[in-house]
Structure 1
Amino acid sequence: MNTSNTPTDIVRGFMSALDDNDPDTAATYLADDFQFSGWTPKPLDKNGFMGMLKDIKEGIPGLSFNLHNVLEPSENRVTGTIQVKGYQSDSFIIPILGTPPIPQTATSVSLPTEDVTYQLNDDSAIAAMAVQHVAGGGISGLLKQLGINLIIVQ
């Protein structure tokens, strides 16, 4: 990790790697104890988050987060908004969330804009990513747009 990068640069690099479907690079931005919350019923650790994205991108390879409105309100915190979009070109399954196989629907998805906060640790790694839940957003909103009304128990 290049610690001369600002927290904003680090977050933009991470999100760019996710958008570019480059999980190996994306994972280098995350702390070993990384926690992802708000988009899924339960928080996910680094492996769970990266695995979930890999699974989703099997069905929606062009899934993008479209990070914008990036601010750095404090030294180790970055905020912004994301709007997840993509086109489902294949079937997929998300084992960590217990989904059934999701059939290929050839459907475009576009979630509502969601606020996101990134917390960096002292090593300039992303320790947490928290997405503020909005109606129609998160994993349940994504699946609903694909015609899957899945009740995911918290």
Structure 2
Amino acid sequence: MSNQQTFQTGLDAIQARDWAKFKTLVTDDYAFLGGPMPMNTEMFIAVQDAIGSAFPDFAFHVDKMTGTDDVFMCELHVTASHSNTLTLPIPGLPPIPATHKSLSVPDALKVTMRSGKIASVEAVPVPNGGMGALLKAIGVPV
């Protein structure tokens, strides 16, 4: 399996909330970067699980991947409907009741692979995009 295929499998595991599978695809020191704070595997899973609960139809749609096998950019868009209360594991952030809004936002990720596993993913700023745009659309202060 190519590194880009491994990354796609990781996106599929996130969508399915298959955290056991996701953990097999990332390095022990995995980091998600580019948000308000770096996240290790457990923190990332906690945030994604909360998002999956609030947006049950959350989906990644990969538009293209470019770069080398070990470091590449993934351009994608996310679709989701805010059907349930969003309770992010972030101190001081209150639960956000369901808005029933359907959203589609662009996103871009810089992916670094090591020894066939996902070592880091960095959210790259996209105008009117990324997780910030998704959260802003449902009333989360960003």
Report the TM-score when normalising by structure 2: 0.89
* Letter of the structure 2 residue corresponding to residue 101 of structure 1: P
Q: Secondary structure at the match of 1:95?
A: coil
* Residues 1:150 and 2:129 aligned together: no
| Alpha-carbon distance in 1 for matches of 2:99, 2:22 | 28
Query: Whose strand proportion is higher, 1 or 2?
Result: 2
* Letter of the structure 1 residue corresponding to residue 10 of structure 2: F
Q: CA deviation at 1:101?
A: 0.4
Question: Once the two structures are aligned, what percentage of the paired residues are identical?
Answer: 23
Alpha carbon RMSD of aligned pairs, Å?
Answer: 1.7
Specify every segment of 5 or more residues in structure 1 that has no aligned partner in the other structure, as ranges.
none
Pick closer, same or farther for the CA change 1:84–1:26 going to 2, 3 Å.
same
Q: Secondary structure at the match of 2:90?
A: helix
Moved over 3 A (4+): none
* Residues 1:138 and 2:134 aligned together: no
Question: For residues 3-152 of structure 1, what are the structure 2 equivalents within 5 Å?
Answer: 5-38=1-34, 40-71=35-66, 73-96=67-90, 98-111=92-105, 113-122=106-115, 124-146=116-138, 148-151=139-142
Specify every segment of 5 or more residues in structure 2 that has no aligned partner in the other structure, as ranges.
none
User: Matched residue pairs, number?
Assistant: 142
Report the TM-score when normalising by structure 1: 0.83
